[in-house]
Amino acid sequence: MQKLARCLGALLAVLAAVLLATPAVAQGSGETVNGTLTYQDAPVAGVTISVASADGTEIGTAQTAADGTWAVPVPGPGDYSVTLDAATLPPTAPGVVRETIETTVNPQQRKVVLFRIGAPETGGEQPSPSESAPSEGESEAPGGTESGSGAESEAGQDLTATGGNNQLLQLFVSGLRFGLILGLAGLGLSLVFGTTGLTNFSHGELIVFGAVAALLLNQAGVPILLAAVLATILSALFGWGQDRGFWRPLRKKPTGLIALMIISIGVSLILRYLTQFIIGGGRETYDEYTYQDPISIGPVSITPRDLIIMGICVVLLAAVALALTRTRMGKATRAVADNPALAAASGINVDRVITVVWTVGTGLAGLSGIFFGMIQGVDYLMGMRILLLVFAATVLGGLGTAWGAMVGALVVGIFIEVSAYVVPSELKTAGVLVVLILILLVRPQGILGRRERVG
Give the chain's radius of gyration (CA, Å).
23
Q: Which helix (H) or strand (E) holds 361?
A: helix 350-376
Instruction: Tell me the CB-side half-sphere exposure of residue 384, using CA atoms within 13 A.
Output: 20
CB within 8 A of 34, min separation 6: which ones?
Answer: 69, 70, 71, 72, 110, 111, 112, 113, 140
Of the candidates 31, 117, 44, the residue with the CA atom closest to the CA atom of residue 80: 31
Q: What domains can you pick out in the chain, each with its CATH number?
A: 32-137 (2.60.40.10), 160-442 (1.10.3470)
Mutual orientation of helices 382-397 and 203-219 as an angle, nearest 10°? 130
Rounded-to-integer distance, Cα 182 and Cα 369, Å: 9
Of 209, 263, 138, 133, nearest in space to 386 by CA: 209
HSE (side-chain half, CA atoms, 13 Å) at 202: 26
SS3 123: coil
The C-alpha atoms of residue 401 and residue 451 are separated, in whole angstroms, by 13
Cα 448 to its chain centre, rounded Å, is 24
pTM assigned to the model: 0.67
125: alpha, beta or left? (left if phi > 0; alpha if psi -120 to 50): beta
Which pLDDT score is estimated for 151? 36
The per-residue pLDDT for 404 is 75
C-alpha closest to that of 196 among 141, 144, 133, 264: 264
How many other C-beta atoms can be found within 10 angstroms of the C-beta atom of residue 327?
Answer: 11
> How big is the chain, counted in residues?
455
Cα(439)–Cα(251) distance, rounded to whole angstroms?
33
Other Cβ atoms within 10 Å of 11 Cβ, number: 15
SS3 content of the chain, % helix, strand, coil (to 5): 55, 15, 30
**Contact criterion met (CB below 8 Å) for 185 and 370:** no
Between CA 193 and CA 337 the distance in angstroms is 8
Helix or strand (DSSP H, E) at 74: strand 69-74
Across the chain, which has 455 residues, the per-10-residue mean pLDDT values are 45 40 39 84 86 86 86 85 89 82 80 81 44 35 35 36 63 89 89 88 93 93 93 95 90 86 92 91 80 77 88 92 89 87 89 93 94 88 88 79 80 83 72 77 70 43
Taking the C-alpha atoms of residue 106 and residue 79, their distance in angstroms, rounded to an integer, is 9
| Distance (Å) of CA 303 to CA 52, 309, 390 | 36, 10, 25
* Other beta carbons less than 10 A from residue 438's beta carbon: 10
